[in-house]
Amino acid sequence: MKNKLFYSLALAICMTFTGFAQEKQSISVLYVGYSADKPMPENLASASISGGMTAERFKAEYGKRMPAFKSLLEKYFTTVKIVDARDYNESMSKEVDVTVFDEAPTPIKPRVINNDPVTGEFVSMEPAKYVSDDFNSAAVFIGHTSSVIGSSLGSKLDWYCLCLDRHAHHIKTEHPIFKGPFKTSITLKDMATPSGVLEAFDGMDVPKEIPMWEVDTEGYEDGKGFRIGMVARGWGFEDSSNAEIISSGVCSKQKTAVALGRHGNFFLWGFAGSPDYMTAEAKKVFVNAIVYTNAHKNDKLIVRKYNERIATKQFIDEMAFYTTKASYDSHVKFYEELNENTVKQKAEFAKKQAAGEELSQREKMILNSDPQKIKTREEYLEKNIGRNKWAKITGLDTLAIRKYLKDNRPYFFSEPDGFYDLNVDEDIKSLQIANTDINVLDKAISMLENGTETTKAKRILLRYTLENFPTAKAWRTWFNKNKSNMFFSEVGGFVWMIDDADANPKVRPRSEKEIAALISK
């Protein structure tokens, strides 16, 4: 009996210690940030370096983030390495399981702007490169680093807005990062819905309060120059199988802005606080995110989003919204209140000035301002709709606009370098097949096989795929082999792709000019 008790106690103690030992995951993590041992970077005015921190706050915090992350990571992972961003080389990421980018490394190639050699007008831009085009190591990006580093790679974790504060909302609470392996609860609290959500075209029905999760204990909205978090664009984010939105967050954008998300083996932790400013729950979720990213370390990017301002068909909904009375009324109300407030303040500060009192910078600015001209309904429509090429067809007739958008939705597409510029593809419209319907490829191939409207067929295939086969037979072979494993990506350039990162040609979607040139050969 005594022996049984002894052995039971010994077993219980062993299990307890084993439990504690299991806290660390056998994952090697590399943290890339700024070391206090190196001089402070210059050019703090660049958000790519400061992350939107004021210079004063940056200097005060310099060198503190690295030890904070190191301490947190060492608590949960067996192998932790740290490197100053200026000493980082991408081969270091090959030596570890997951890299945490808290700062961007030194660029390896500057930004290139291509202008028309004759007119000098802007043609295209290639972002600066911070890693090579072959970089595919698993990484967790803190805030703006996801776009600074990922832009040249076509990452969907793009720079929508450097304006993320410290709370998450619209959270997928069932996601694995909230579950483990490090257990934590997620405390949700109803808080006032951000105005950016309510005023957006898709936010009119959002309640005035929504559940939120506190990630950081301080944010830039506290007005003390804190580093600012980043959200990525939500439209088209999930149009490939290995990309997922996990949460939005308090920012000046709509509810679909992505604060936490994954694209392949890249994870966006949009919130800016170091572990010194993370809540206890956030620390657990952050390390869970590293574990989750490691689980996806071999998930290479399939879709490459090289143009962060490419419109998706969701833009049609936004355009339709602008034609509504509710949209215009909301616009008028907003500016009427703004102007009313400005007039009151101007009067107050004018009085103060007349009394010989010193005005603050803000007060001087308000005194030297004019009210916003409130647009007429026509001007409002002109601003929001008139810029579209198809507006020549509809004019500013709201019913005509809505009908045009609804009737042509299946046929809208964007050129690869289009900036919020959707146009109707008359080729597929003539076939009455949507570009989102894989039968559009089948039909085009059949046209090639039958020798009917072959130029149109070629245009469709070159526009909506990354392939370029010389014969109808080759097209058919490719299509039959892959059609059950294909998907349509709008942010990837309105192309049909094979759901396999190694199966698609390493080329970019084609512009209409490139398509015409290929066909004329």
Question: For binding to other proteins (CB under 8 A), which residues are involved?
Answer: 45-48, 52, 113, 121-122, 125, 160-163, 195, 220-225, 228, 252, 308-309, 338-339, 341-342, 361-362, 365-366, 368-372, 383, 387, 419-420
Backbone angles phi, psi at 418, to 5 degrees: -65, 140
**Cβ 283 to other proteins shortest distance, Å:** 24
**Cβ 206 to other proteins shortest distance, Å:** 18
Element (H, E) at 284: helix 280-295
Q: Which lies closer to other proteins via its Cβ, residue 47 or residue 206?
A: 47
Gap between the Cα atoms of 64 and 58, Å rounded: 10
**Cβ 59 to other proteins shortest distance, Å:** 17
Structure tokens at 396: 């500013």
Q: Which lies closer to other proteins via its Cβ, residue 84 or residue 382?
A: 382
Across the beta sheet with 77-84, the strand order is 77-84, 25-33, 98-101, 139-142, 266-269, 260-263, 243-249, 167-169, 209-214, 188-192
Q: Which lies closer to other proteins via its Cβ, residue 448 or residue 491?
A: 491
Q: Which lies closer to other proteins via its Cβ, residue 46 or residue 485?
A: 46
**Cβ 100 to other proteins shortest distance, Å:** 22
**Cβ 371 to other proteins shortest distance, Å:** 7
Q: Which lies closer to other proteins via its Cβ, residue 341 or residue 439?
A: 341
Q: Which lies closer to other proteins via its Cβ, residue 161 or residue 188?
A: 161
Q: Which lies closer to other proteins via its Cβ, residue 420 or residue 478?
A: 420
Q: Which lies closer to other proteins via its Cβ, residue 6 or residue 122?
A: 122
Q: Which lies closer to other proteins via its Cβ, residue 48 or residue 137?
A: 48
* Whether the Cβ atoms of residue 185 and residue 29 lie closer than 8 Å to each other: no
Gap between the Cα atoms of 442 and 476, Å rounded: 8
Side chain identity at 34, as an amino acid letter?
Y
Q: Would you give the DSSP letter of residue 389?
A: T
* Whether the Cβ atoms of residue 161 and residue 252 lie closer than 8 Å to each other: yes
**Cβ 154 to other proteins shortest distance, Å:** 17
**Cβ 197 to other proteins shortest distance, Å:** 14
DSSP class per residue in 158-219: --SEEEE-SEEES--TTSGGGTSSS-----EEEEEPPHHHHHSTT-TTS-SEEEEEE-BS--
**Cβ 381 to other proteins shortest distance, Å:** 14
**Token pair 């991408």 is at which residue?**
90
* Whether the Cβ atoms of residue 351 and residue 286 lie closer than 8 Å to each other: no
Structure tokens at 198: 């309510």
Q: Which lies closer to other proteins via its Cβ, residue 224 or residue 473?
A: 224
Q: Which lies closer to other proteins via its Cβ, residue 203 or residue 225?
A: 225
List, in sequence order, every beta strand (DSSP E) within 15-169: 25-33, 77-84, 98-101, 112-115, 122-126, 139-142, 161-164, 167-169
**Cβ 354 to other proteins shortest distance, Å:** 19
**Cβ 228 to other proteins shortest distance, Å:** 5
**Cβ 431 to other proteins shortest distance, Å:** 32
β-bridge mates for residue 269, sequence order: 142, 260
Q: CA 220 → CA 80, 273, 403, distances in Å?
A: 29, 10, 43
Q: Which lies closer to other proteins via its Cβ, residue 109 or residue 309?
A: 309
Structure tokens at 201: 């075209």
* Whether the Cβ atoms of residue 321 and residue 201 lie closer than 8 Å to each other: yes
Gap between the Cα atoms of 485 and 241, Å rounded: 11
**Which 3 state secondary structure label does DSSP give 350?**
helix
**65-76 and 280-295 helices, crossing angle to 10°:** 70
**Cβ 252 to other proteins shortest distance, Å:** 7
Counting every residue written for the chain, the total comes to: 521
- Peptide bond preceding 181 in cis form (omega within 30 of 0): yes
The C-alpha angle with vertex 512 and arms to 509 and 514, in degrees rounded to 5, equals 70
